[in-house]
């Protein structure tokens, strides 16, 4: 909750320093299968859309997270190969539909599945 409050305060002060025609760039780096990232994306981030604040924000979602490149060139993600794959799928969705109003719905949907424990190894699981 404290990080959300800091986020709101930062956005408020950014608005004070800008004219009405400029947008604040907000880049969110996240991990596709991280439960903490999913919780933020599903339970907090939609508020900027619901409140209309998105009209003043250039939101850039960046699916990367805790990944490292090994000496052989492969990438290792914190939550395994499925996370690397889902990060790539999210990046493709963002690239194919650059308007955040279009790709956010898909990212929200998959992150909600993470919270509901319905996504395992990058696949939807019906329980």
Over the stretch 6-51, which tens digit does the pLDDT of each residue have? Answer: 665 666 656 555 555 689 999 999 999 999 999 999 999 999 999 9
> At residue 58, does pLDDT exceed 90?
yes
What per-residue confidence (pLDDT) applies to 10?
63
Backbone dihedral region for residue 8 (phi beyond 0: left; psi -120 to 50: alpha; all else: beta): alpha
| CA of residue 45 relative to chain centroid, distance | 8
pLDDT at 3: 65
Q: What is the mean pLDDT of residues 69-90?
A: 90
Task: Specify the long-range contacts of residues 92-98, CB closer than 8 Å, at least 24 apart.
Answer: 94/61, 94/63
pLDDT of res. 117 = 86
Comparing CA positions, the residue from 39, 45, 54 lying closest to residue 7 is: 45
Work out the mean pLDDT of the chain and round it to a whole number: 85
- pLDDT value at 112 more than 60: yes
Q: What DSSP character marks residue 99?
A: S
Supply the pLDDT for residue 8. 58
Q: How far apart are CA 83 and CA 64, in angstroms?
A: 9
What residue segments make up the domains of the chain, in order of their start? 2-124
Reported as a pLDDT band with limits 50, 70 and 90, residue 90 is very high
**In degrees rounded to 5, what are phi and psi of residue 47?**
-60, -30
Residue 126's pLDDT is 59
| Secondary structure element (H or E) that encloses residue 12, with its range | helix 2-16
Contacts of residue 40, Cβ cutoff 8 Å, sequence gap at least 6: 4, 30
pLDDT value of residue 16:
56
């Amino acid at each position: 909750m404290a990080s959300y409050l800091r986020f709101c305060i930062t956005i408020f002060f950014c608005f004070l320093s800008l004219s009405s025609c400029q947008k604040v760039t907000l880049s969110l780096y996240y991990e596709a299968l991280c439960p903490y990232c999913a919780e933020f994306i599903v339970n907090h981030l939609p508020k900027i859309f619901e409140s209309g604040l998105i009209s003043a924000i250039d939101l850039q979602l960046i699916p990367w997270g805790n990944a490292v490149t090994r000496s052989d060139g492969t990438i290792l993600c914190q939550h395994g190969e499925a996370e690397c794959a889902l990060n790539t799928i999210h990046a493709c969705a963002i690239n194919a539909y650059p308007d955040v109003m279009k790709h956010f719905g898909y990212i929200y949907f998959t992150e909600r599945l993470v919270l509901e424990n319905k996504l395992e190894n990058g696949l939807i699981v019906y329980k």
